Structure 1
């Protein structure tokens, strides 16, 4: 979500003042979220500093929480596009796991073991789930040929309806096909 911060010098009550407007673009027009006038006082200088620090903090945010040693985000994305660097993956266990019965409110973890059976490094570019109740963990490092690894996911049954629930974990890697589907089911009871 993008916001526009606009600085305007204008006249307020016969004095020259400064006005900050924070706007949110919305459906082709702009809506003022916050408008305030700043007079030339010592207290307002503190506000200038606060705004500058806040803007600096938001500008420095990054979406990548952890860096992968020797593998930046761009290289990870390109790995799934460059077929010359494709490898093969073998799922050591079934790609469908029945977790059986669990009580509503219980959190369970499912694990899928894999092995790089190709001759290039295996790069897991992305791991996502079919809904917000399932949170997968993405391996952050490349896997050498012959190396094994695990993809884990946690399923939270809080607030889920009773009965059978089937969920999917999607794994994108430098393989053909690029996307793999890992499935599990649980039976939620009282």
Structure 2
């Protein structure tokens, strides 16, 4: 039994050693140089700086679309890539963004907001998926959405109050009002 295990171990060592030599022979020297350069700059993430991190539309009419532009600058040393932009709800639509921004250059994206509300403050977050060190960057929009003047007024709910008298309390609970 020991001879079988010893023989299998020797066979495995030969197989793994020969694979290692084959793999080393397949590595191209230009790929090694490229990888070394990439690894040297791996710590140099692009950095994003916004012209504003929040846009206040002020007071807007209910259901009236408004729009703004956010600008961002790559303040890092490598190419900034913005792969996706999305918002927290369908009433806020980011679009037309600059996908690649070289160091020192500026990109931008539009945000359309179609707010609906009943006279309240609304705030939405727009998230960018980037190749910065954090991986996600966010900006916000806000607005006070006026109440829709054409919305039907809601009727106040009606409540019924049953008066409890000593006579009804006695019927409901024969022990009510009695000291035991």
Q: Please give the range of the TM-score, normalised by the shorter of the 2 chains.
A: 0.5 to 0.7
1:22-48 CA-to-partner distances (Å, cap 9, x unmatched) read: xxxxxxxxxxxxxxxxxxxxxxxxxxx
1:165 to 112, 115, 122: 122
Kindly name which structure, 1 or 2, has the bigger radius of gyration based on alpha carbons: 2
Match status 1:100 vs 2:58 = yes
1:153-176 CA-to-partner distances (Å, cap 9, x unmatched) read: 10112x434311111100110102
Match status 1:128 vs 2:86 = yes
Q: Where in structure 2 are the equivalents of 1:131-170 lying within 5 Å?
A: 131-139=89-97, 141-157=99-115, 159-170=116-127
Question: Kindly tell me: are residues 141 and 172 of structure 1, through their superposed partners in 2, closer, same or farther at Cα, counting changes over 3 Å?
Answer: closer
Query: Which runs of 5 or more structure 1 residues have no equivalent in the other structure?
Result: 1-82
Q: Where in structure 2 are the equivalents of 1:1-190 lying within 5 Å?
A: 86-92=45-51, 94-139=52-97, 141-157=99-115, 159-189=116-146, 190=148
1:54-86 CA-to-partner distances (Å, cap 9, x unmatched) read: xxxxxxxxxxxxxxxxxxxxxxxxxxxxx6573
Q: Report the count of equivalent residues.
A: 107
Higher helix fraction: Structure 1 or Structure 2?
Answer: 2
Q: SS of the counterpart of 2:80?
A: coil
1:115-168 CA-to-partner distances (Å, cap 9, x unmatched) read: 0111111100110001111111152531111110112110112x4343111111
Query: Which runs of 5 or more structure 2 residues have no equivalent in the other structure?
Result: 1-41, 149-180
- For residues 82 and 74 of structure 2, what CA distance do their matches in structure 1 show? 11
TM-score by length of 2: 0.54
C-alpha deviation, 1:113, in angstroms: 1.0
TM-score by length of 1: 0.52
